[in-house]
A and B are shown apart, each in its own frame.
Chain A
């Protein structure tokens, strides 16, 4: 068995098999207690630990499945294609362990909350959920830790980076590069799914917990939409002054002046492995404007930090910027 198989196989064990098994066991156990539960079970508690929302026992089953499988499913959908292609990075190992921890937390929490209500006549007498929450957190943490240790170490492959040596201008020529770096369709879909999920949560919270909490989540949703819509498209501009990257909505704006550029080149970006996601990403050693996977312009600053922008025709853009960097060096 080579390590390539082990990475994907063990990721599937912790991110798919563990969530499915623990949720199935939790649902099965809750079904065996069906007859012992009150008509209306407590489904939500206030800060003092008193039940304040109720539903039928099936509500608890649905939340077991949603809590236990939604996050792992979303994580697997986002990461598995990259893993299968052979992309590696510590983020995948973390997300695998995170899936296991989320599933165990959700499955154990709803299991314990249901168990505490066996044999009571009315959900209003449901006991304080504090211990159940702590136990579920503990169980999730232990399984998550085991899932982390079970997976092999992943080293991200060095990206295919080229340092530009081409120059596109001769003599007294001047050049300007202007292009649009846009978010890929897949990333837009993820954004849309995020917004819809948050909207659904907002409606649910509004209905079950009242307007105040609902408004907080609506506020968070609006903020998320404003922030992410600023990340959908950027204008990349390269000229004698350096490189600037400006959001289509005017803000944020990033600029690297020519005097702070050490070298220019192109690279290949995997958003998750290299930057842990998309948008404007700050990681140790650099900043990325990451709107899709693939071709990107890479600038190495005089400080040693990298500035990366995913864009089409990065090679031509790099050649122009390199021309100005070379001119400045020989001036």
Chain B
């Protein structure tokens, strides 16, 4: 699993870590049943506060993407498989938009607008 953050970004570090883990689920690097690295290890590797990582893991737990069990750590749930299924469709969508001259930011705002319609 590859977790990346950008300290110069405006987004909070815990949101970035959560987004990065989510991306690993989408690409298939983190499959259902896989254990997330310990928050302590991630904090040491990325040189961030332990609570930042724990908060990121809590976000993922609230989304149902990981299961937190005492003694077993954070485990990727079956819900992550749906993200992986979505990934290929998202890639196709991004590619199609690119052909039409629509960048990822414009596409993302379109997606938000469509979601707001319902």
A and B: bona fide binding partners: yes
Interface size on B, residues (CB 8 A): 18
What is the predominant secondary structure among interface residues of chain B facing chain A? mixed
Can you name the residue of chain A whose Cβ is closest to the Cβ of B8?
A172
Contact A171 B2 (CB under 8 A): no
Contact pattern, A 165-178, Cβ under 8 Å of B = 1, otherwise 0: 00011011111111
Interface size band for A: 20 to 34
- Beta-carbon contacts under 8 Å, A225-258 to B: 235, 237, 239-241
Stretch from B38-46, B78-86, B109-117 forming part of the interface with A: B38-46
Contact A239 B7 (CB under 8 A): no
Counting CB contacts under 8 A, is B12 at the interface? no
Per the bound structure, the CA–CA distance linking A175 and B4 in Å amounts to: 4
Contact of A176 among B8, B29, B45 (CB under 8 A): B45
Contacts of B10 in A (CB 8 A): none
Contact of B37 among A171, A178, A241, A316 (CB under 8 A): A178
Can you name the residue of chain B whose Cβ is closest to the Cβ of A241?
B45
Counting CB contacts under 8 A, is B1 at the interface? yes
Per the bound structure, the CA–CA distance linking A104 and B95 in Å amounts to: 66
Contact A237 B6 (CB under 8 A): no
Per the bound structure, the CA–CA distance linking A179 and B6 in Å amounts to: 21
Contacts of B6 in A (CB 8 A): 171-174
Counting CB contacts under 8 A, is B19 at the interface? no
Per the bound structure, the CA–CA distance linking A218 and B47 in Å amounts to: 47
Contact B4 A169 (CB under 8 A): yes
Per the bound structure, the CA–CA distance linking A178 and B5 in Å amounts to: 15
Counting CB contacts under 8 A, is B94 at the interface? no
Contacts of B46 in A (CB 8 A): 174-176, 239
Chain A residues in contact with chain B, CB under 8 A? Answer: 168-169, 171-180, 235, 237, 239-241, 313, 316-317, 320
Chain B residues in contact with chain A, CB under 8 A? Answer: 1-8, 29, 34-35, 37, 41-42, 44-47
Closest 6 CB pairs of A and B: A176-B45, A178-B37, A239-B45, A175-B4, A172-B8, A173-B6
